[in-house]
């Protein structure tokens, strides 16, 4: 925390809420920025942010917002980081979220995004992703914001069998934000990269992220989406002649090797075939198939293959 404090936008990202939510908490409950510099907007101090975190934690546990705000305002400054002082004397009248999404060592943006996801706050999730993409790009946003939260949801779901609603809303919101990344002006007919999910694979968000990452550097592609039967993939390859084909599998159940072995060979085959996702067993794949280790790796491999094709033509 610097002496000048934090702006509303910075606090919103840290907490995983929309800026409009902060304004509401300020106007309705008196939890606003207290640091004032003449001629400038008020800024949030460390104490202000700590009180907002108490407010956020209590409302997630089912405490009514007005009661949570009253309690957050009355905690002495020296006790703001004492867990025992952060709970009202009367327990919540009904259970709330009760559990968080683990994001390990991920940064403030991922933690804020996880909090917004748990609240099912799509507006805050959208704002965090849009700001991250504008500042750091698609690949960094995937690696440092989206992926840690998705992994955390998966881990928590394994234990609790819950959070399906959280995953669905997060995925939909992320898909909309990634889809809004400006596409290249090149005609789609010039696309040399083909993206598809494996047969019966429904998790297409990683391919949507790769599509957006390619668009960000001006490279067009075709994305067929979820559950692409091998016959449809083969037909598309024969009709469009891509230099690169990426097939995504999230789970071993959808990663059958025969759907890769049946792809066109000879002069019609792609220059590069990437098997993306944790579903694939690298040791069982055909020798010519490459398994990228990250979104950035897939992006680099695909662009290199396209460049090599264009150089040889």
pLDDT score at 164: 93
Note whether 116 and 31 are same-domain residues.
no
List Cβ<8 Å contacts ≥24 apart for 180-186.
180/130, 181/133, 181/138, 181/212, 181/215, 181/216, 182/215, 183/215, 183/220, 184/215, 184/218, 184/219, 184/220, 186/218, 186/220
pLDDT score at 93: 38
| Domain-terminating residue out of 93, 115, 134 | 93
- The encoded tokens of residue 28 equal 């309705």
* Bridge partners of residue 244, in order along the sequence: 193, 272
| Domain-terminating residue out of 41, 65, 93 | 93
Note whether 244 and 282 are same-domain residues.
yes
Note whether 143 and 175 are same-domain residues.
yes
Note whether 307 and 209 are same-domain residues.
yes
pLDDT score at 39: 56
Note whether 72 and 5 are same-domain residues.
yes
Cα–Cα distance, 18 to 121 (Å, whole number):
9
| Domain-terminating residue out of 93, 116, 144 | 93
Note whether 103 and 88 are same-domain residues.
no
Q: Where are the alpha helices (DSSP H) in the chain?
A: 8-15, 19-29, 46-60, 65-74, 108-118, 122-136, 138-141, 147-160, 164-179, 205-216, 230-240, 258-261, 295-312
Note whether 137 and 235 are same-domain residues.
no
- The encoded tokens of residue 40 equal 């400038």
- The encoded tokens of residue 243 equal 């230099």
Domain count, the chain: 3
pLDDT score at 150: 97
Note whether 300 and 227 are same-domain residues.
yes
Each of the 313 residues of the chain gets a pLDDT tens digit; together they read 344 688 998 999 889 888 888 988 999 889 999 877 665 678 899 889 988 988 888 776 656 778 888 888 888 877 776 655 555 554 343 333 445 788 988 888 898 899 889 889 898 899 899 999 999 999 999 999 999 999 999 998 888 888 999 999 999 999 999 999 999 886 666 799 999 999 999 999 999 999 999 999 999 999 999 999 999 999 999 999 999 999 999 999 999 999 998 887 766 688 899 999 999 999 999 888 999 999 999 999 999 999 988 776 5
Note whether 151 and 194 are same-domain residues.
no
Note whether 121 and 196 are same-domain residues.
no
pLDDT score at 17: 86
pLDDT score at 66: 81
Q: What is the CATH number of the domain that holds 14?
A: 1.10.1660.10
pLDDT score at 37: 64
pLDDT score at 208: 98
Q: What is the CATH number of the domain that holds 105?
A: 1.10.1240.10
State the residue range of the domain holding 145.
99-180
89: left (phi over 0), alpha (psi -120 to 50) or beta: alpha
pLDDT score at 54: 86
Note whether 122 and 83 are same-domain residues.
no
Q: What is the CATH number of the domain that holds 290?
A: 3.40.50.280
pLDDT score at 291: 96
Note whether 167 and 210 are same-domain residues.
no
């Amino acid at each position: 925390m610097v002496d000048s404090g934090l702006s509303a936008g910075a606090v919103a990202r840290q907490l995983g809420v929309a800026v409009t939510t902060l304004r509401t908490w300020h106007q309705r409950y008196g939890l606003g920025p207290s640091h004032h510099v003449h001629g400038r907007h008020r800024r949030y101090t460390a104490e202000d942010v700590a009180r907002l975190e108490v407010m956020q934690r209590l409302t997630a546990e089912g405490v009514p917002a007005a009661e949570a705000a009253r309690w957050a305002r009355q905690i002495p400054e020296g006790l703001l980081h004492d867990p025992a002082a952060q709970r009202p004397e009367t327990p919540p009248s009904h259970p709330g979220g009760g559990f968080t999404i683990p994001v390990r060592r991920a940064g403030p943006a991922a933690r804020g995004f996880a909090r917004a996801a748990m609240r099912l706050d799509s507006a805050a999730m959208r704002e965090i992703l849009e700001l991250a993409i504008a500042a750091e790009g698609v690949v960094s946003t995937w690696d440092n914001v989206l992926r840690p939260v998705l992994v955390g949801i998966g881990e928590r779901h394994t234990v609790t069998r819950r959070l399906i609603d959280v995953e669905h809303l997060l995925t939909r919101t992320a898909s909309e934000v990634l889809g809004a990344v400006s596409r290249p002006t090149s005609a789609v007919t010039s696309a040399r990269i083909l993206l598809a999910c494996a047969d019966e694979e429904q998790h297409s968000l990683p391919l949507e992220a790769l599509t957006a990452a390619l668009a960000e550097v001006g490279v067009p592609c075709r994305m067929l989406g979820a559950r692409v039967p091998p016959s449809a993939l083969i037909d598309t390859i024969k009709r469009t002649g891509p230099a690169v084909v990426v097939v995504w599998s999230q789970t071993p159940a959808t990663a059958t090797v025969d759907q890769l072995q049946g792809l066109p060979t000879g002069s019609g085959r792609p220059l590069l075939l990437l098997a993306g996702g944790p579903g694939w067993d690298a040791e069982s794949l055909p020798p010519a198939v490459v398994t990228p280790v990250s979104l950035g790796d897939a992006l680099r491999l695909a662009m290199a293959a396209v460049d090599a094709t264009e150089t040889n033509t």
